[in-house]
C-alpha cells in the first residue's frame, strides 16, 4: 500500500496517523521524509505541525545557500543541524516565556519541539555519554580540567545522537 493511499485511507476514516508513522515509511533521505510529511500534513490540515515543517524546510533552504554552509556536508547532516538549531531556539523561547509568565506560549513551543525531535535519531542517555567519556578520558590520558579540549576533540559521536553540551558537562563532571 503506497503512502498516498494510506494517507487517503486515514483521511476517509477520520483517523490521522502520527508523523512518526509516516516518517518511518518514507524511503530515502531525511529531507525527503520532511517533504513527504509536509504533504501529508497539508492534506490532513494539521496546521501547527505543518508550520513547523515549513519553517524547517525554509531554514534548510536558507542554510544551504548561506556562506555558513559547510562544503561537502551531506544533505542529512545539514538537515539535522538545521533541526537541532530550531530545537535550541525553541528551548530558549520556552525559558523566556516561562520567565515572562506566559505558560501558554511556552507550551506551544514545547509542542513544536516534540515535532522536531521526532526527526532526530535516538538520543544517547546521560549514562551512555558518561560511559563513553570515561573510556575516552582513559584513552587520551586526561587528568585535569585543562585536558577537556583534548577529550572534546577526540569525541567522535555524531552531534545528533549526543548533545555537545551534555558531553561537555559529563567531561567536566568526570575531570573534577
The pLDDT value given to residue 59:
95
The x, y and z cell numbers of residue 40, run together, are 501529508
The pLDDT value given to residue 2:
54
The pLDDT value given to residue 6:
52
Q: Which of 170, 115, 117, 176 is nearest to 146 (CA)?
A: 176
**Tens of pLDDT, residue by residue, the chain (176 residues):** 555 545 444 444 343 344 444 444 445 789 999 999 999 999 999 999 999 999 999 999 999 999 988 888 889 889 998 999 999 999 999 999 999 999 999 999 999 999 999 998 888 888 999 999 999 988 888 888 888 888 888 888 877 788 888 888 998 888 88
Q: Is the domain of 92 the same as that of 142?
A: no
Which one of 117, 137, 152 terminates a domain? 117
Number of domains in the chain: 2
Q: Is the domain of 72 the same as that of 32?
A: yes
Q: Is the domain of 106 the same as that of 134?
A: no
- Residue 74 Rama label (left phi>0; alpha psi -120 to 50; beta): beta
Q: Is the domain of 76 the same as that of 140?
A: no
The pLDDT value given to residue 158:
78
Q: Is the domain of 65 the same as that of 108?
A: yes
Q: Is the domain of 56 the same as that of 133?
A: no
Classify residue 73 by its DSSP letter. -
Residue 17: count other Cβ atoms within 10 Å of its Cβ. 14
Helix (H, G, I), strand (E, B) or coil at 59: helix
Which one of 72, 98, 117 terminates a domain? 117
Task: Give burial (CB, 10 Å; 0-12/13-18/19+) of 153.
Answer: exposed
Residue 132: count other Cβ atoms within 10 Å of its Cβ. 17
Q: Is the domain of 58 the same as that of 136?
A: no
Q: Is the domain of 136 the same as that of 50?
A: no
Domain span holding position 30: 3-117
Q: Is the domain of 67 the same as that of 139?
A: no
CATH number reported for the structural domain that contains residue 83 in this entry: 1.10.1510.10
Which one of 117, 134, 151 terminates a domain? 117
Q: Is the domain of 92 the same as that of 156?
A: no
The pLDDT value given to residue 56:
96
- Where b means 16+ CB within 10 Å and e means fewer, 54-65 reads eebbebbeebee
The pLDDT value given to residue 27:
55
Q: Is the domain of 113 the same as that of 132?
A: no
Going 33 to 34 to 39 to 44, the CA torsion angle's sign is positive
The pLDDT value given to residue 25:
45
Amino acid at each position: 500500500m503506497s503512502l498516498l493511499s494510506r494517507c487517503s485511507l486515514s483521511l476517509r476514516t477520520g483517523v490521522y496517523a502520527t508523523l512518526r508513522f509516516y516518517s518511518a515509511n518514507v524511503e530515502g533521505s531525511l529531507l525527503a521524509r520532511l517533504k513527504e510529511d509536509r504533504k501529508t500534513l497539508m492534506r490532513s490540515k494539521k496546521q501547527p505541525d505543518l508550520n513547523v515543517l515549513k519553517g524547517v524546510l525554509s531554514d534548510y533552504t536558507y542554510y544551504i545557500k548561506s556562506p555558513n554552509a559547510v562544503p561537502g556536508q551531506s544533505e542529512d547532516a545539514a538537515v539535522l543541524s538545521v533541526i537541532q538549531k530550531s530545537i535550541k531556539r525553541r528551548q530558549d523561547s520556552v525559558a523566556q516565556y516561562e520567565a515572562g509568565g506566559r505558560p501558554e506560549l511556552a507550551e506551544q513551543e514545547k509542542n513544536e519541539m516534540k515535532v522536531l525531535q521526532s526527526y532526530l535519531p535516538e538520543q544517547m542517555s546521560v549514562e551512555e555519554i558518561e560511559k563513553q567519556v570515561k573510556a575516552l578520558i582513559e584513552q587520551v590520558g586526561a587528568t585535569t580540567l585543562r585536558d577537556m579540549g583534548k577529550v572534546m576533540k577526540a569525541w567522535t559521536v555524531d552531534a545528533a545522537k549526543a548533545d555537545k553540551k551534555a558531553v561537555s558537562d559529563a567531561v567536566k563532571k568526570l575531570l573534577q
